[in-house]
Amino acid sequence: MTDENTASPQRVGPSRRTFLIGSGVAVAVGAGGGIAAGALRAGPHRSTPSEPPPVLVAALASELALIASIKASTGGGAAVQAKLAEVARNHLTHATVLQALIDDTVTEPTPSHASGSPSQPPSAPPLTLARLAAAERRASATAARRAAALSGRDATLLASIAACEATHVALLS
Amino acid sequence: MTLIGDWQAALATEQQAGFGYDLLGARLHGTPELSLAVVCSNAHDALIGSVTEQLATAGQTPHPTAADYPSLYPVDNASAARALAIRLETECAAAWRYLYENAASTTGAQAITLRAQAQAALTASAVRATRWRLAAATKPLTTAFPGL
């Protein structure tokens, strides 16, 4: 067994992750995020590199881009909009948990990190349902590849995100 | 538990799903979901077969299929059948996620292979669970972190 975290000295005092969870982020992101955050809380403290892990940053950017695409896609009936809202909620939960992971790796949070909430989604053009489904399919494959590049709980989190995004394809197709 | 133990546990959960689909399929005759049940059942059977073979190739004795799974009863009607299908897929997703996490914390060729299999199986079960939630009109239709 290997764990990159175990070789590092433990922090003194609570980690930012613990703080975020303690301050209600887990509640704010819903039950799924709460479960994920709970799993994270059980993990060892991380070291405190000055730069966040690029894979997690890229994963967060992907989530924000998907949220932006969904927010821009306003057509369809009530049933379609309900599905899009559910998909967007999942992405927001992913983004919030990823942001908490990233915040926990940086010594000093940047202003956009300070609240524990993910950055605002960028603007994006509206997409048809078929294109949104295709974007989710690509996102699922990318998340699985990113998971394979990581280890431990971070890898598992992205593996689960990959599975979730595959369910979005089923929902939107 | 070792990786092999987690792999065997995933197989055991798949075996339960295979049994469960036989059980619930009988309650779906005449409904649109019978074909979904057949597709899901076939997928689990195929995975059981490949994992069993892989474990044997690795010099392991594959987990035996139980004669019965009392915890899956009762399945009295189509509604109960849909609910059981969601449960079976959710439990499979959890078993494969557990294997994934432990493989992702381990080095070596076997761990890499198992991660790939676990990712595929976790994703497949999550998608099937969503299809069953759609069929059952259960809300929410998805979960943000399948297997967790």
**ipTM of this predicted structure:** 0.97
Nearest CA to B25 out of B14, B41, B13 is that of B41
Tell which B residues from 13 to 52 touch A, by Cβ distance under 8 Å. Answer: none
Residue A112, amino acid: S
Q: What is residue A36's predicted lDDT score, i.e. its pLDDT? A: 60
Shortest CA distance from A163: residue in chain B: B123
Percent of chain A with pLDDT over 70: 64
Q: Is B126 on the interface with A (CB under 8 A)?
A: yes
For residue A43, pLDDT over 60 is answered with no
Which is higher by pLDDT, A27 or A147?
A147
CB contact under 8 Å between B145 and A83, yes or no, is no
* pLDDT value, residue A52: 83
pLDDT at B33 over 50: yes
CA pair distance A15, A39, nearest whole angstrom: 15
* Measured CA angle at A15 (ends A13, A17), to 5 deg: 155
Hey, how many other C-beta atoms are within 10 angstroms of the C-beta on A6? 11
Centre a 10 Å sphere on the Cβ of residue A50 and count the other Cβ atoms it contains: 8
The span from the first CA to the last CA of chain A, in angstroms, equals 40
The 10s digit of each residue's pLDDT in B77-132 is 999 999 999 999 999 999 999 999 999 999 999 999 999 999 999 999 999 999 99
List, for residues A54-97, the tens digit of each pLDDT value: 999 999 999 999 999 999 987 788 999 999 999 999 999 999 99
Distance from CA of B128 to the nearest CA of A (A): 8
CB A63 within 8 A of CB A101: no
What tokens were used for A118? 């993910």
Question: Tokens representing A67?
Answer: 């949220």
User: pLDDT tens for residues A99-119?
Assistant: 999 998 876 655 554 456 677
Residue of B97, B98, B119 to mutate, testing the A interface (most A Cβ within 10 Å of its Cβ): B119
Residue B59 has pLDDT above 50, yes or no: yes
Contacts of A152 in chain B (CB under 8 A): 101, 104-105
Amino acid at A137: R
CA distances from A2 to A5, A54, A77, B4 (A): 9, 21, 50, 17
